[in-house]
C-alpha cells in the first residue's frame, strides 16, 4: 500500500497535535508545575532519540557518512560491510553499515540529553523547590505514557509506509539531533533563567514555543528539502541518499577461491589492537607513571601500573582480534577474469577489475612474516580494500592470472565476432 507525501504529512500532523496537547492539558487542567512540564518534555526527547536509533538501523539507503572516519577498531569493520541481518517473521533487516553511525550518534546525543535534563529539570527543581509527588507525579507519569505512545505511533508509521526504503540512517538521526539541540538548549537556557530568578510562566511559554517549532519543522521537512534543492539558498535540508550499487558477481570462467589465513588474522588483530593510538596513549601514561612511582620511596608499587598496562593491552588486543575476524574471517575471494570479494554471511562486498588490481600494493605485515603470507592493498573510489594474509604464491599469481584470464576472454570474444562477420559475408 503506497502513501502519498500529503497523507504521510497529515498523519504526522495528527501525531504532532496529540503530542503537544498532552502537556498543555497538564498545565491548564491538571495544574502541572514547571518541573512536571519540563520532565515530560525531557522524557519525550529521550524516547525520540531511542526511536530514531531504531529507525536508523533499518534505513536501506547507503550511509552518507565518510567511512574513513569510522576506520578504527570494530566501527570500521561494520561501516565497510555490506549486507543486513533479517528480522524473523517481519519484512525488515538491520543494515550492518548503519550500526556504527547509529551507536556513536546515540552516545553523543545521549550525553547532551542527560546534561540538558540535569540543568533544565534538576536545576529548576532546586531553584523552585517543586517536587513530583502524589497526584502531580501520577498525572506527569500519565503524560509521559501519552507522549511515549505518540512517538511510538510516529515511529510505527515510518515502518508501515515503508519510508525506511527511501532514506539513509542519517535522516532519522539528524531529525532527532535537531530536536536535542533545539529543545535541549531550551531546557538548558530555561533552567538557567529560572535559577537566575526569571518567572516560571515566561520559561514555560518559551520552552513550549521552541518545542512546537521543532516539531513543525520536522513534519514539513520534505517541503524544506524541495525548497533547498530548487533555490540558491542552502538550508542544509537537501541531502541526496544514494542507493547501494549492485555488484556483478558473474565471472567468465570457473573461479579459483582463496581465503585469508585464519591464524594470521588472529595475530594481526593482536598487533593492530595494541598498536592503535587509543591503546598506546593509556599504556604509555601507565608506564611513565609507574617509572615515576618507582623513583619515589612512598609512591604506588610499580608492579600495580604494570598490571594495569597489561590489562589495557589485553582489552585492546581482544578488540583488535574481534575487528580482524569481523572484517575477514568469512571473506573469500573468487578469482577469474576479475576478483569478487564475498562475505559468506552477508554476500558480495566488491568487485575488482584487472586494471584496478594492477594498481595494488603487495605488503607484508608482522603476521605475514610469521606465517609466510602476503597482503594486497589498494584504494577504490576512496575506499581502502585489503586482501589480507594470502599465501605468497597465490598473491604473486593473482594479478597475472586475472590479467591473463581477462585477455583470453577478450581474445575469444574478438574471434567469435570475426567468425560471425565472415559467416555473414559468406
233-252 per-position pLDDT tens digit: 444 444 567 788 889 998 88
Least confident of 15-29, 113-127, 333-347: 15-29
Angular region, 212: left φ>0, alpha ψ -120 to 50, beta rest = alpha
Return the pLDDT at 340. 92
As a whole number of angstroms, the distance between CA 78 and CA 97 comes to 6
348-360 per-position pLDDT tens digit: 999 988 888 878 8
Phi, psi (rounded to 5 degrees) for 373? -115, 175
As a whole number of angstroms, the distance between CA 95 and CA 362 comes to 32
Phi, psi (rounded to 5 degrees) for 94? -80, 120
Query: Quick one: average pLDDT of 298-326?
Result: 87
Q: In terms of pLDDT, which residue wins out, 364 or 64?
A: 364
* Banded pLDDT at 155 (limits 50, 70, 90): confident
Residues 6+ apart with CB under 8 A from 226: none
254-281 per-position pLDDT tens digit: 888 899 999 999 999 999 889 888 888 8
Where would I find the beta strands (DSSP E) of 127-277?
A: 256-258
Return the pLDDT at 268. 94
As a whole number of angstroms, the distance between CA 123 and CA 270 comes to 47
DSSP 247: -
Checking if the pLDDT of 173 tops 80, the result is: yes
Q: In terms of pLDDT, which residue wins out, 287 or 94?
A: 94
Q: In terms of pLDDT, which residue wins out, 227 or 343?
A: 343
Return the pLDDT at 12. 60
Q: Considering just the CA atoms, what is the radius of gyration of the chain in Å?
A: 29
Q: In terms of pLDDT, which residue wins out, 420 or 51?
A: 51
C-alpha torsion sign, points 406, 408, 409, 414: positive
C-alpha torsion sign, points 121, 125, 131, 136: negative
Mean pLDDT for the chain overall: 77
Amino acid at each position: 500500500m503506497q502513501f502519498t507525501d500529503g497523507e504521510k504529512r497529515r498523519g504526522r500532523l495528527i501525531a504532532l497535535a496529540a503530542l503537544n496537547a498532552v502537556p498543555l492539558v497538564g498545565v491548564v487542567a491538571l495544574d502541572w508545575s514547571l518541573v512536571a512540564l519540563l520532565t515530560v518534555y525531557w522524557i519525550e526527547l529521550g524516547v525520540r532519540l531511542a526511536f530514531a536509533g531504531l529507525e536508523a538501523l533499518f534505513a536501506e539507503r547507503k550511509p552518507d557518512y565518510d567511512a574513513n572516519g569510522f576506520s578504527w577498531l570494530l566501527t570500521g569493520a561494520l561501516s565497510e560491510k555490506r549486507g543486513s541481518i533479517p528480522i524473523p517473521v517481519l519484512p525488515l533487516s538491520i543494515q550492518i553499515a548503519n550500526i556504527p553511525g547509529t551507536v556513536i550518534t546515540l552516545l553523543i546525543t545521549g550525553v547532551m540529553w542527560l546534561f540538558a535534563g540535569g540543568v533544565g529539570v534538576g536545576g529548576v527543581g532546586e531553584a523552585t523547590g517543586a517536587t513530583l509527588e502524589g497526584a502531580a507525579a501520577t498525572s506527569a507519569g500519565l503524560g509521559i505514557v501519552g507522549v511515549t505512545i505518540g512517538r511510538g505511533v510516529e515511529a510505527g508509521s515510518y515502518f508501515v509506509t515503508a519510508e525506511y526504503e527511501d532514506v539513509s540512517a542519517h535522516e532519522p538521526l539528524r531529525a532527532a539531533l535537531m530536536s536535542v539541540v533545539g529543545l535541549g538548549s531550551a531546557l538548558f537556557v530555561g533552567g538557567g533563567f529560572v535559577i537566575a530568578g526569571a518567572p516560571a510562566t515566561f520559561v514555560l511559554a518559551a520552552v513550549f514555543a521552541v518545542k512546537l517549532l521543532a516539531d513543525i519543522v520536522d513534519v514539513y521537512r520534505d517541503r524544506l528539502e524541495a525548497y533547498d534543492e530548487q533555490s540558491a539558498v542552502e538550508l542544509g535540508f537537501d541531502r541526496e541518499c544514494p542507493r547501494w550499487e549492485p555488484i556483478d558477481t558473474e565471472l567468465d570462467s570457473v573461479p579459483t577461491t582463496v581465503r585469508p589465513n585464519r591464524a594470521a588474522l588472529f595475530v594481526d588483530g593482536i598487533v593492530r589492537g595494541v598498536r592503535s593510538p587509543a591503546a598506546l596513549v593509556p599504556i604509555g601514561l601507565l608506564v611513565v607513571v609507574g617509572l615515576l612511582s618507582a623513583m619515589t620511596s612512598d609512591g604506588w608499587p610499580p608492579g600495580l601500573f604494570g598490571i594495569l598496562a597489561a590489562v589495557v593491552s589485553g582489552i585492546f588486543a581482544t578488540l583488535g582480534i574481534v575487528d580482524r575476524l569481523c572484517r575477514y574471517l568469512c571473506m573469500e575471494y573468487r578469482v577469474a577474469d576479475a576478483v569478487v570479494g564475498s562475505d559468506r554471511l552477508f554476500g558480495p562486498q566488491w568487485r575488482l577489475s584487472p586494471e584496478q588490481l594492477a594498481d595494488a600494493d603487495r605488503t607484508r605485515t608482522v603476521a605475514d612474516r610469521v606465517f609466510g603470507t602476503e597482503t594486497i592493498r589498494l584504494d577504490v573510489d576512496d575506499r581502502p580494500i585489503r586482501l589480507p594474509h594470502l599465501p605468497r604464491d597465490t598473491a604473486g599469481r593473482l594479478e597475472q592470472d586475472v590479467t591473463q584470464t581477462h585477455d583470453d576472454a577478450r581474445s575469444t570474444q574478438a574471434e567469435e565476432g570475426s567468425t560471425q562477420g565472415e559467416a555473414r559475408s559468406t
